[in-house]
Amino acid sequence: MKNNIDNNNFSKKIVICGAGGFIGGALIAELRCRGYNNIRAVDRKPMTRWYQKFEDVDNLVLDLQYRDNCYKALQGAHDCYNLAADMGGMGFIELNKALCMLSVLINTHLLEGCRDLGVSRFFYASSACVYAGYKQLETDNPGLKEEDAYPADPEDGYGWEKLFSERMCRHFREDFGIRTRVARFHNVYGPNGTFDGGREKAPAAICRKAIAAKQAGTRDIEIWGDGMQTRSFMYIDDCIKGILDIMDSEIEEPINLGSDEMVSINQLVDIVESIAEIKLERAYKLDAPKGVRGRSSDNTKIQQELGWAPNIRLKDGMRKTYEWILDQMSSGHSKDAIVNFEESDASRVLAH
């Protein structure tokens, strides 16, 4: 068994997969702040499109769906965090099920690499999309408990891949002794994430639409669905603390990492209106992808086991997110047009 937790060794190699993305970039920022000095960052996107990139980190462009690239990424690693996935908001995952399921290659090849190269600890980013659809039919959701993932009826495509990969982690732990940890994220939001291009999620999309309306001098906003569907949203800083706490914990089974502050999409728009100081005309697009009717996180387990609870209220986190998106839009920045195949083909080889 290679299960030693070696947290005082600040020079152990930590590999972050999906490092050019929203959560991966924020995780590296925090690890650096904590003093870790041997970090490898891996993503398939060209580095110009990484949300955060640090010069003192070993940055690699690799497509981790390929086994050889996973082995290159994991050379010398002690810990691996797998945050790489082809994903986005409802608009992306409902219309790209095959692409979402292909992320299974990333997690599978990374786990094989961990086994063969002796990597001690592995973190997998799962999702609330593993939860059974029949538990999410009402807007008034009491909060999903970990056991609500079974009998299985996850989100088609994306959710099935997450559920399968969770189980791969379990079996690699049981059969090969890799210390795997799995968190089920519920909607993460904050600065340095996707806000346009088709992969963005509701908090960023609503901020962008409100800013665009304000800049154009109009008052219109399109809302997907009837706006009564409910969700909870976790600010990025809370998410990062939770990831690191879970990685260091003895919690072997998948655990919720999310907020239990449930709001409707209409209430989320109310929050953005008050931040933007604008009153919008809402047009409801009822045939748009909208996902389950009601979803929130039951945090009983993570509170009991780790004392973790979200620190940042939705209205405070949304203000920071709004300001960052406003800044990006005002300066004409956008990193997240949907990746096309030519681009991902080009990044299959190692290219600094």
Residues that bind ligand NAD (CB under 6 A): 18, 20-24, 43-45, 63-65, 83-87, 106, 125, 127, 185, 187-188, 193-194, 201
Which of 36, 158, 189, 235 is flagged as catalytic? Answer: 158
Rounded least distance, CB 103 to ligand NAD, Å:
6
Phi, psi of 220 (to 5 degrees): -95, 140
Catalytic: 158?
yes
Task: Please state, in angstroms and rounded to a whole number, the distance separating the CA atoms of residues 320 and 246.
Answer: 26
Rounded least distance, CB 310 to ligand NAD, Å:
14
Task: Please state, in angstroms and rounded to a whole number, the distance separating the CA atoms of residues 208 and 222.
Answer: 11
Indicate the residue among 51 and 280 with the shorter CB distance to ligand NAD: 51
Indicate the residue among 127 and 230 with the shorter CB distance to ligand NAD: 127
Number of residues written out for the chain: 352
Rounded least distance, CB 127 to ligand NAD, Å:
4
Q: What CA–CA distances, in Å, run from 215 to 218, 276, 328?
A: 8, 11, 13
Task: Please state, in angstroms and rounded to a whole number, the distance separating the CA atoms of residues 343 and 20.
Answer: 15
Three-state DSSP state, 8: coil
Rounded least distance, CB 220 to ligand NAD, Å:
26
322, 228, 230, 233: which is closest to 284 by C-alpha?
A: 228
Q: Which residue is nearest to ligand NAD (CB)?
A: 21
Task: Please state, in angstroms and rounded to a whole number, the distance separating the CA atoms of residues 272 and 251.
Answer: 36
What's the DSSP call for residue 44? S
Indicate the residue among 43 and 79 with the shorter CB distance to ligand NAD: 43
Indicate the residue among 14 and 280 with the shorter CB distance to ligand NAD: 14
Rounded least distance, CB 239 to ligand NAD, Å:
8
Angle, helices 158-176 vs 104-117, to 10°: value is 10
Indicate the residue among 65 and 328 with the shorter CB distance to ligand NAD: 65
By annotation, the residues acting in catalysis are 158
